[in-house]
Protein backbone atom coordinates (compact mmCIF):
# COMPACT_ATOMS: atom_id res chain seq x y z
CA UNK A 1 0.00 0.00 0.00
CA UNK A 2 1.27 3.44 -0.93
CA UNK A 3 1.56 6.27 1.59
CA UNK A 4 0.83 9.90 0.63
CA UNK A 5 4.28 11.43 0.36
CA UNK A 6 3.13 15.00 0.93
CA UNK A 7 0.90 14.32 3.92
CA UNK A 8 1.65 16.41 7.03
CA UNK A 9 -0.72 14.54 9.37
CA UNK A 10 -0.18 11.04 10.81
CA UNK A 11 -2.14 8.12 9.39
CA UNK A 12 -4.68 7.84 12.22
CA UNK A 13 -5.58 11.53 12.00
CA UNK A 14 -5.95 11.36 8.22
CA UNK A 15 -8.21 8.32 8.55
CA UNK A 16 -10.46 10.12 11.03
CA UNK A 17 -10.71 13.24 8.87
CA UNK A 18 -11.52 11.14 5.80
CA UNK A 19 -14.21 9.08 7.52
CA UNK A 20 -15.85 12.25 8.83
CA UNK A 21 -15.92 13.83 5.38
CA UNK A 22 -17.29 10.68 3.75
CA UNK A 23 -20.02 10.43 6.39
CA UNK A 24 -21.03 14.03 5.69
CA UNK A 25 -20.76 13.44 1.91
CA UNK A 26 -18.09 16.12 1.64
CA UNK A 27 -15.28 16.10 -0.91
CA UNK A 28 -11.80 14.87 -0.16
CA UNK A 29 -9.52 17.64 -1.43
CA UNK A 30 -5.90 16.81 -0.50
CA UNK A 31 -3.60 14.11 0.86
CA UNK A 32 -4.06 15.23 4.49
CA UNK A 33 -7.68 14.08 4.17
CA UNK A 34 -6.86 10.59 2.82
CA UNK A 35 -6.13 7.30 4.50
CA UNK A 36 -3.28 5.26 3.05
CA UNK A 37 -5.83 2.91 1.49
CA UNK A 38 -7.77 5.78 -0.10
CA UNK A 39 -4.55 7.20 -1.55
CA UNK A 40 -3.55 3.79 -2.92
CA UNK A 41 -6.92 3.13 -4.58
CA UNK A 42 -7.27 6.68 -5.90
CA UNK A 43 -3.81 6.73 -7.49
CA UNK A 44 -4.47 3.31 -9.03
CA UNK A 45 -7.68 4.50 -10.69
CA UNK A 46 -6.27 7.83 -11.85
CA UNK A 47 -3.12 6.21 -13.24
CA UNK A 48 -5.21 3.69 -15.17
CA UNK A 49 -7.17 6.53 -16.72
CA UNK A 50 -4.08 8.67 -17.44
CA UNK A 51 -2.18 5.80 -19.08
CA UNK A 52 -5.25 4.83 -21.11
CA UNK A 53 -5.82 8.37 -22.35
CA UNK A 54 -2.20 8.75 -23.45
CA UNK A 55 -1.96 5.30 -25.06
CA UNK A 56 -5.30 5.86 -26.80
CA UNK A 57 -4.18 9.16 -28.26
CA UNK A 58 -0.96 7.63 -29.56
CA UNK A 59 -2.92 4.78 -31.15
CA UNK A 60 -5.07 7.25 -33.07
CA UNK A 61 -2.16 9.25 -34.51
CA UNK A 62 -1.73 7.18 -37.73
CA UNK A 63 -5.36 7.81 -38.60
CA UNK A 64 -4.75 11.51 -39.04
CA UNK A 65 -2.92 10.57 -42.23
CA UNK A 66 -5.13 7.61 -43.17
CA UNK A 67 -8.52 9.27 -42.65
CA UNK A 68 -10.62 9.22 -45.86
CA UNK A 69 -11.11 13.00 -46.29
CA UNK A 70 -9.36 16.21 -45.31
CA UNK A 71 -12.29 16.99 -43.00
CA UNK A 72 -11.81 13.66 -41.25
CA UNK A 73 -8.08 14.26 -40.92
CA UNK A 74 -8.94 17.39 -38.96
CA UNK A 75 -11.52 15.54 -36.83
CA UNK A 76 -9.06 12.77 -35.98
CA UNK A 77 -6.32 15.27 -35.13
CA UNK A 78 -8.76 16.94 -32.71
CA UNK A 79 -9.56 13.57 -31.12
CA UNK A 80 -5.83 12.93 -30.68
CA UNK A 81 -5.38 16.36 -29.12
CA UNK A 82 -8.29 15.71 -26.75
CA UNK A 83 -6.93 12.34 -25.61
CA UNK A 84 -3.41 13.59 -24.97
CA UNK A 85 -4.81 16.61 -23.12
CA UNK A 86 -6.97 14.30 -21.01
CA UNK A 87 -3.91 12.23 -20.19
CA UNK A 88 -1.97 15.33 -19.19
CA UNK A 89 -4.88 16.53 -17.03
CA UNK A 90 -4.91 13.22 -15.17
CA UNK A 91 -1.14 13.18 -14.71
CA UNK A 92 -1.37 16.72 -13.35
CA UNK A 93 -3.84 15.49 -10.71
CA UNK A 94 -1.38 12.76 -9.79
CA UNK A 95 1.43 15.31 -9.53
CA UNK A 96 -0.73 17.37 -7.17
CA UNK A 97 -0.82 14.47 -4.68
CA UNK A 98 2.88 13.75 -4.91
CA UNK A 99 3.21 11.13 -7.66
CA UNK A 100 6.46 11.63 -9.69
CA UNK A 101 4.74 11.55 -13.07
CA UNK A 102 7.63 12.20 -15.47
CA UNK A 103 9.76 9.44 -13.93
CA UNK A 104 6.77 7.11 -14.15
CA UNK A 105 5.83 7.85 -17.78
CA UNK A 106 9.44 7.59 -18.93
CA UNK A 107 9.42 3.87 -18.05
CA UNK A 108 6.82 2.86 -20.63
CA UNK A 109 6.26 2.73 -24.38
CA UNK A 110 2.71 3.97 -24.82
CA UNK A 111 2.93 3.33 -28.57
CA UNK A 112 3.35 -0.43 -27.99
CA UNK A 113 0.70 -2.67 -29.58
CA UNK A 114 0.40 -6.46 -29.73
CA UNK A 115 0.74 -8.10 -33.13
CA UNK A 116 -1.36 -10.61 -35.03
CA UNK A 117 -4.42 -12.31 -33.55
CA UNK A 118 -3.33 -12.12 -29.92
CA UNK A 119 -6.29 -12.30 -27.53
CA UNK A 120 -5.39 -10.69 -24.22
CA UNK A 121 -8.67 -11.43 -22.45
CA UNK A 122 -8.47 -9.03 -19.51
CA UNK A 123 -4.74 -9.23 -18.85
CA UNK A 124 -2.24 -6.51 -19.71
CA UNK A 125 0.49 -6.93 -22.30
CA UNK A 126 2.83 -4.55 -20.49
CA UNK A 127 3.55 -3.07 -17.08
CA UNK A 128 1.86 0.29 -17.56
CA UNK A 129 -1.73 0.56 -16.33
CA UNK A 130 -3.62 1.28 -19.55
CA UNK A 131 -6.85 -0.63 -20.12
CA UNK A 132 -5.75 -3.66 -22.11
CA UNK A 133 -7.88 -2.77 -25.13
CA UNK A 134 -5.30 -0.05 -25.86
CA UNK A 135 -2.70 -2.75 -26.61
CA UNK A 136 -4.58 -3.76 -29.78
CA UNK A 137 -3.69 -2.04 -33.07
CA UNK A 138 -6.36 -0.24 -35.11
CA UNK A 139 -5.93 -1.60 -38.62
CA UNK A 140 -8.69 0.00 -40.70
CA UNK A 141 -11.05 2.97 -40.84
CA UNK A 142 -14.03 0.76 -39.81
CA UNK A 143 -11.96 -0.38 -36.81
CA UNK A 144 -11.17 3.22 -35.92
CA UNK A 145 -14.80 4.35 -35.93
CA UNK A 146 -15.96 1.16 -34.19
CA UNK A 147 -13.39 1.94 -31.48
CA UNK A 148 -14.99 5.39 -31.09
CA UNK A 149 -18.43 3.81 -31.03
CA UNK A 150 -17.60 1.13 -28.46
CA UNK A 151 -14.58 2.07 -26.37
CA UNK A 152 -15.21 5.80 -26.06
CA UNK A 153 -18.78 4.94 -25.06
CA UNK A 154 -17.54 2.30 -22.58
CA UNK A 155 -15.15 4.83 -21.03
CA UNK A 156 -18.02 7.29 -20.78
CA UNK A 157 -20.08 4.79 -18.80
CA UNK A 158 -17.17 4.33 -16.40
CA UNK A 159 -16.63 8.07 -16.09
CA UNK A 160 -20.26 8.48 -15.02
CA UNK A 161 -19.19 7.08 -11.65
CA UNK A 162 -16.26 9.48 -11.42
CA UNK A 163 -18.66 12.40 -11.84
CA UNK A 164 -19.84 11.49 -8.30
CA UNK A 165 -16.41 10.65 -6.87
CA UNK A 166 -15.54 11.67 -3.33
CA UNK A 167 -12.23 13.11 -4.60
CA UNK A 168 -13.13 16.66 -5.57
CA UNK A 169 -10.27 17.56 -7.96
CA UNK A 170 -10.86 14.43 -10.05
CA UNK A 171 -14.63 14.92 -10.12
CA UNK A 172 -14.28 18.48 -11.34
CA UNK A 173 -11.76 17.54 -14.05
CA UNK A 174 -13.99 14.72 -15.27
CA UNK A 175 -16.80 17.19 -16.01
CA UNK A 176 -14.55 18.74 -18.67
CA UNK A 177 -13.19 15.44 -20.01
CA UNK A 178 -16.62 13.82 -20.21
CA UNK A 179 -17.99 16.48 -22.56
CA UNK A 180 -15.14 15.98 -25.02
CA UNK A 181 -15.42 12.19 -24.86
CA UNK A 182 -19.05 12.51 -25.92
CA UNK A 183 -17.96 14.17 -29.17
CA UNK A 184 -15.76 11.13 -29.89
CA UNK A 185 -18.74 8.84 -29.27
CA UNK A 186 -20.85 10.95 -31.65
CA UNK A 187 -18.18 10.57 -34.33
CA UNK A 188 -18.31 6.79 -33.93
CA UNK A 189 -22.12 6.79 -34.02
CA UNK A 190 -22.18 8.77 -37.27
CA UNK A 191 -19.76 6.49 -39.07
CA UNK A 192 -20.97 3.15 -37.71
CA UNK A 193 -24.53 4.03 -38.70
CA UNK A 194 -23.39 5.18 -42.14
CA UNK A 195 -21.41 1.99 -42.78
CA UNK A 196 -24.08 -0.27 -41.28
CA UNK A 197 -26.81 1.16 -43.51
CA UNK A 198 -24.71 0.79 -46.66
CA UNK A 199 -25.28 -2.51 -48.42
CA UNK A 200 -21.64 -2.71 -49.53
CA UNK A 201 -20.15 -1.76 -46.14
CA UNK A 202 -22.45 -3.52 -43.64
CA UNK A 203 -20.39 -6.71 -43.68
CA UNK A 204 -17.16 -4.82 -42.98
CA UNK A 205 -18.55 -2.92 -39.99
CA UNK A 206 -20.26 -6.07 -38.65
CA UNK A 207 -16.89 -7.85 -38.74
CA UNK A 208 -15.34 -4.93 -36.87
CA UNK A 209 -18.08 -5.12 -34.22
CA UNK A 210 -17.40 -8.83 -33.77
CA UNK A 211 -13.68 -8.17 -33.41
CA UNK A 212 -13.95 -5.39 -30.81
CA UNK A 213 -17.00 -6.53 -28.83
CA UNK A 214 -15.30 -9.13 -26.57
CA UNK A 215 -12.38 -6.78 -26.06
CA UNK A 216 -14.53 -3.90 -24.83
CA UNK A 217 -16.78 -6.13 -22.70
CA UNK A 218 -13.71 -7.26 -20.76
CA UNK A 219 -12.72 -3.73 -19.69
CA UNK A 220 -15.37 -3.41 -17.00
CA UNK A 221 -14.05 -6.12 -14.70
CA UNK A 222 -15.56 -9.07 -12.92
CA UNK A 223 -18.85 -8.92 -10.99
CA UNK A 224 -18.46 -8.68 -7.23
CA UNK A 225 -14.82 -7.64 -7.32
CA UNK A 226 -13.40 -7.08 -3.82
CA UNK A 227 -11.44 -4.07 -5.02
CA UNK A 228 -14.55 -2.56 -6.59
CA UNK A 229 -16.33 -3.02 -3.26
CA UNK A 230 -13.60 -0.95 -1.57
CA UNK A 231 -13.87 1.74 -4.25
CA UNK A 232 -17.58 1.97 -3.52
CA UNK A 233 -17.06 2.00 0.25
CA UNK A 234 -14.79 5.02 -0.17
CA UNK A 235 -17.15 6.69 -2.67
CA UNK A 236 -14.63 6.46 -5.49
CA UNK A 237 -17.19 4.45 -7.48
CA UNK A 238 -20.96 4.06 -7.33
CA UNK A 239 -21.74 0.78 -9.07
CA UNK A 240 -20.55 -2.80 -9.30
CA UNK A 241 -18.50 -3.51 -12.44
CA UNK A 242 -21.19 -5.70 -13.96
CA UNK A 243 -23.89 -3.04 -13.59
CA UNK A 244 -21.74 -0.62 -15.60
CA UNK A 245 -21.28 -3.32 -18.24
CA UNK A 246 -25.03 -3.98 -18.43
CA UNK A 247 -25.81 -0.26 -18.83
CA UNK A 248 -23.22 -0.02 -21.61
CA UNK A 249 -24.48 -3.15 -23.37
CA UNK A 250 -28.08 -1.97 -23.31
CA UNK A 251 -27.18 1.32 -24.98
CA UNK A 252 -25.00 -0.28 -27.66
CA UNK A 253 -27.50 -3.02 -28.41
CA UNK A 254 -30.28 -0.51 -28.99
CA UNK A 255 -28.25 1.45 -31.53
CA UNK A 256 -26.64 -1.53 -33.27
CA UNK A 257 -29.87 -3.44 -33.78
CA UNK A 258 -31.61 -0.33 -35.07
CA UNK A 259 -28.93 -0.13 -37.78
CA UNK A 260 -29.13 -3.83 -38.66
CA UNK A 261 -26.01 -4.99 -36.78
CA UNK A 262 -25.97 -8.14 -34.66
CA UNK A 263 -24.34 -8.05 -31.22
CA UNK A 264 -22.01 -11.06 -30.88
CA UNK A 265 -22.24 -13.49 -28.00
CA UNK A 266 -19.73 -13.12 -25.20
CA UNK A 267 -18.91 -15.59 -22.44
CA UNK A 268 -16.33 -14.35 -19.92
CA UNK A 269 -13.93 -16.64 -18.11
CA UNK A 270 -13.74 -14.82 -14.80
CA UNK A 271 -11.20 -17.22 -13.36
CA UNK A 272 -8.61 -15.76 -15.75
CA UNK A 273 -9.23 -12.12 -14.78
CA UNK A 274 -7.13 -10.78 -11.86
CA UNK A 275 -8.76 -7.95 -9.92
CA UNK A 276 -6.11 -5.43 -10.97
CA UNK A 277 -6.12 -6.27 -14.68
CA UNK A 278 -8.78 -3.79 -15.75
CA UNK A 279 -9.57 -0.16 -15.11
CA UNK A 280 -12.58 -0.88 -12.90
CA UNK A 281 -10.66 -3.15 -10.51
Q: pLDDT tens digit string along 234-252? A: 999 999 999 999 999 999 9
Give the per-residue SS3 of 102-138. HHHHCCCCCCCCCCCCCCCCCCCCCCCCCCHHHHCCC
Q: Quick one: pLDDT at residue 126?
A: 86
What DSSP character marks residue 5? T
For 65-77, the DSSP string reads HHSSSHHHHHHHH
The predicted pLDDT at position 279 comes to 46
pLDDT at 124: 82
pLDDT at 61: 97
- Average the pLDDT over each of 113-122, 175-184, 258-267 and give the range with the smallest value: 113-122
pLDDT at 281: 47
Query: Cα dist. 47→14, 94, 220, 230, 232 in Å?
Result: 22, 8, 16, 17, 18
CA gap 52, 130 in Å, rounded: 4
Q: At what angle do helices 36-60 and 226-233 cross, to 10 degrees?
A: 110
For the chain, the farthest-separated pair of C-alpha atoms sits apart, in whole angstroms, at 66
Can you list the domains of the chain with their CATH numbers? Answer: 35-272 (1.20.1260.10)
| pLDDT, mean of residues 42-67 | 96
Q: State pTM to two decimals.
A: 0.91
Closest of 160, 132, 227, 146 to residue 189, by C-alpha = 146
Distance between CA 240 and CA 102 in Å, rounded? Answer: 33
The neighbour count for residue 130, using CB atoms within 10 Å, is 25
Amino acid sequence: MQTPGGAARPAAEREAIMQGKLARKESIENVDEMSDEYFDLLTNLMTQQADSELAGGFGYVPWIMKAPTTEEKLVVSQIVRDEVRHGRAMYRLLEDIGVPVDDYVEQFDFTYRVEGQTDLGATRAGTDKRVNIFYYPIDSWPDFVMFNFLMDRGAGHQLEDVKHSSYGPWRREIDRIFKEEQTHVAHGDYWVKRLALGSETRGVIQASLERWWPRVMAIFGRPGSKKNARYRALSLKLRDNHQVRLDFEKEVRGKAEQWGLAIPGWTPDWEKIPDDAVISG
